Amino acid sequence: MRLTPGRSFGPIAYGGSWLALALLPFAPETGLFLRSSSDIKYFGPICYYEGIVSFLLLAPALLLPRILSRAWVIVVGGGMGLATLTVGFYAACFGARWNLTAHAAMMQTNRNQAREFMMNFASPGVLAWMALLAAGFAAGIVVNVRSTPPRGGVRLGVTLLGAAASAYGIGHAIHYGGVVVRRVWLSPTRSITTVEPSYNKFHPVTLLAMSHYNYRATHQFYLKQYRDVARHRQELAGARPIPGAVCPRLIVVVIGESANRLHWSLYGYPKRTTPRLDAEAGELEVFSDVICTWAATIISIRDMLTTTEDAVPSFPLFSQAGYTTHWFSAQFNQGGGDLELNAMVLSCNQRMYLNGVYDENLEPLVARVVAAPGKQMIFAQLFGSHVRYLDRYPTRFNVFHAADDGGPLRSSYDNSILYTDTVLTDLIEMLRKRHESSCLFYVSDHGEDVLDSRPDKYLFRDESLATDPMYEVPCFVWFSPEYRRENAAFVAAVAAARNRKYQNRALYQALLDLARLRHPLYNPRDSLLSPDFVERLRRVGVMGRVYRGAPTPAVYGH
């Protein structure tokens, strides 16, 4: 027989390469179990079900005619490789399993953010591991298509054996598998059916497919709500000033990025990371115990600024009460109106994205608006402390160095906080100079665990790890002297609420209080700033762990 390029290896090589392609997807889960052996008892069942998925994906290659079999191995083996690299990269970086939040972040991240993310997390070790996995898949595919398959009888026998083992496992999963699909209520009127992760969905291909299905289902619901905001205009109209209160002319809401309050000297961090705010602390009402709902930008901001009932953006509450609303973001415009944050803010009167510049570039935009006549409400989304930290501040803020405690990662994070301190105090100064009724509210979208829980390990943020620092955010409000004078009783009530246990959901309720407005949707029990606020049990992470963290009292002022 003539040796053609397609016949370079024998049946043993064929079998070995087939098996390698089936087993390589086990790598991410194996890596997770090697890191933490506490739930080792699940490793066996997970491998069994991963084996079933791999078998079902690769079985057609055993039965198809050779030319189709080769095409099958290239396409399906390649797909398995890409899925394994995606899930494996996440597992190697964070020590956590791929989940819906990770999927949403991947789907809503543009090329610039992805590049920064890779540069931040792709250590030489992780890259070497990824290269090894990729090489494994490539070798498996090349050897398989260039080898002579075993005789038809052998292949049929293997297929029948695999089919029997799979049928047993699938039957077992159906019998004992618990919840496979679950109904999730997104609003009182709308539910979606989600696919729940269980053993049989930890294979990278099924894990990604399941996350994608769940992501699409929720994402489409929210996009529809945002696009339909016009339909809800009527129910958001009619906010009126509280009798006897004076609505401020200027409201600035600054949404921070990835700032964890444990790194703020305003909250007692030993490094002077917020010297300018520390100096002005006497004029700030600093909240000691605010946490976010999710350690992810889009979900956190959605929970703050859309209605609890139906996820309708709350901006028209204010614009229909006489405020011109502005969304200024130092972050990237995700474009097209198809991505959630971009779609969510479409009902702001003015929207502007600065696409990854330093945060100080927001200041001229804010300055122009505060100088304009009429009531103005500005939402300023910082780039704050988004990874990579050292890209977030100009070199003159390179104050903390690697030689300080915690190494270069912690130092660059702290420098980004130092820079945020300057931007925030610049904005306050801008308002103060106006000598009119104004206020500035600041809260970060979520925290980040920058060597806080484990000094030896950078945990970043992940909903399955869900450590406290991923949720503990800085939060304060500054009132101009004019605002304080005109709304003295309210300001006193806010000062009394500083140690309140709050989870940042329905922030628009507190913003109605700040604007001194009342509306049928207003519910004081949900407002951080209302004397009638009701504390609730706070849960964090995908497992809904009850948050029991300690407050971090402000050490300056009061």
Of 210-218, 251-259, 283-291, 351-359, the window that binds Zn ion (rule: CB under 5 A) is: 251-259
Nearer to Zn ion, 331 or 527 (CB): 331
Stretch that binds Zn ion, among 12-20, 253-261, 467-475, 493-501 (CB under 5 A): 253-261
Question: Which C-beta is closer to Zn ion: that of 84 or that of 297?
Answer: 297
Site for Zn ion in 447-506 (CB under 5 A): none
- Among the residue ranges 150-158, 190-198, 441-449, 517-525, the one whose residues contact Zn ion (CB under 5 A): 441-449
- Which range, of 152-160, 296-304, 503-511, 527-535, touches Zn ion by CB under 5 A? 296-304
Spatial separation of the C-alpha atoms in residues 302 and 118, rounded to whole Å: 26
**Counting beta carbons within 10 angstroms of the beta carbon of residue 21, is it exposed (0 to 12), middle (13 to 18) or buried (19 or more)?**
buried
Q: Out of 293, 297, 411, 527, point to the residue binding Zn ion (CB under 5 A).
A: 297
Indicate the residue among 332 and 490 with the shorter CB distance to Zn ion: 332
Rg, Å, the chain Cα set:
27
Determine the interface stretch with Zn ion among 82-90, 156-164, 266-274, 442-450 (rule: CB under 5 A). 442-450
What distances in angstroms separate CA 390 from CA 106, 186, 228, 412, one per listed residue? 22, 38, 39, 5
Which is closer to Zn ion, CB of 257 or CB of 526? Answer: 257
How far apart, in Å, are the Cα atoms of 369 and each of 17, 439, 469? 64, 14, 35
Which of 500, 540, 501, 509 shows the shortest CA–CA distance to 309? 509
Shortest distance (Å) from residue 255 CB to Zn ion: 9
Q: Which amino acid is at 204?
A: P
SS3 for 465?
A: coil
Q: Residue ranges of the alpha helices (H) in 122-179?
A: 124-145, 152-176
Nearer to Zn ion, 27 or 409 (CB): 409
Q: How far is the CB of 297 from Zn ion (least distance, A)?
A: 3
Contacts with Zn ion in 359-378 (CB under 5 A)? none
User: Closer CB to Zn ion, residue 297 or residue 342?
Assistant: 297
Q: Tell me the one-letter amino acid at 172.
A: H
Please return the burial class of 74, using the count of CB atoms within 10 Å of its CB with bins 0-12, 13-18 and 19+.
Answer: middle
- Tell me whether strands 375-381 and 250-256 are parallel, antiparallel or unpaired: parallel
Q: Which stretch binds Zn ion (CB under 5 A): 61-69, 250-258, 401-409, 423-431?
A: 250-258
Number of residues that bind Zn ion (CB under 5 A): 3
- Distance of closest approach, residue 435 Cβ to Zn ion, in angstroms: 34
Interacting stretch for Zn ion, rule CB under 5 A, among 274-282, 292-300, 305-313, 329-337? Answer: 292-300
Would you say 169 or 384 has its CB closer to Zn ion?
384
Bridge-based pairing of strands 290-291 and 502-503 is parallel
Closest separation in Å from C-beta 446 to Zn ion? 5
User: Minimum Å distance from CB 447 to Zn ion?
Assistant: 9
Q: Is 445 in the site for Zn ion (CB under 5 A)?
A: yes
Closest approach of Zn ion to the CB of residue 445, in Å? 4
Q: How far apart are CA 144 and CA 369, in angstroms?
A: 65
Query: Considering the complex, what minimum distance in angstroms separates the CB of residue 160 from Zn ion?
Result: 51
Specify the pairing of strand 350-353 against strand 323-329: parallel
Kindly report each contact of residues 11-17 with a partner whose C-beta sits within 8 Å and lies 24 or more positions away, as own/partner.
Answer: 11/147, 11/148, 11/149, 11/150, 11/151, 11/154, 13/143, 13/147, 14/143, 14/144, 14/147, 14/148, 14/149, 14/150, 15/150, 16/143, 17/139, 17/140, 17/141, 17/143, 17/144, 17/147
Angle made by CA atoms 96, 98, 100, in degrees to the nearest 5: 125
Contact between 461 and 449 (Cβ < 8 Å): yes
Closest-CB residue for Zn ion? Answer: 297
Least distance from Zn ion to the Cβ atom of residue 448, Å: 8
At closest approach, how far in Å is the CB of 296 from Zn ion?
A: 7
Helix (H, G, I), strand (E, B) or coil at 77: helix
**CA triple 207-212-217, angle to 5 deg:** 135
Looking from the CA of 350 toward its CB, the CA atoms found within 13 Å total 15
Q: Which helix (H) or strand (E) holds 478?
A: strand 475-479
Under rule CB under 5 A, residue 422 binds Zn ion: no
Options 33-41, 46-54, 182-190, 297-305: segment touching Zn ion (CB under 5 A):
297-305
Residue 8 or residue 464: which is nearer to Zn ion going by CB? 464
Task: Provide, rounded to whole angstroms, the least separation between the CB of residue 294 and Zn ion.
Answer: 10
Does 444 participate in binding Zn ion (rule CB under 5 A)? no
Q: Quick one: which segment of 171-179, 217-225, 444-452, 509-517 binds Zn ion (CB under 5 A)?
A: 444-452
In this structure, are strands 475-479 and 438-444 parallel, antiparallel, or unpaired?
antiparallel
Q: In the complex with Zn ion, which residue's Cβ is closer, 210 or 470?
A: 470
Q: 417-434 burial, b for 16+ CB within 10 Å, e for fewer?
A: bbbbbbbbbbbbebbbee
Instruction: Name which of 445 and 472 has its Cβ closer to Zn ion.
Output: 445
Report the interface residues with Zn ion, using CB under 5 A.
257, 297, 445
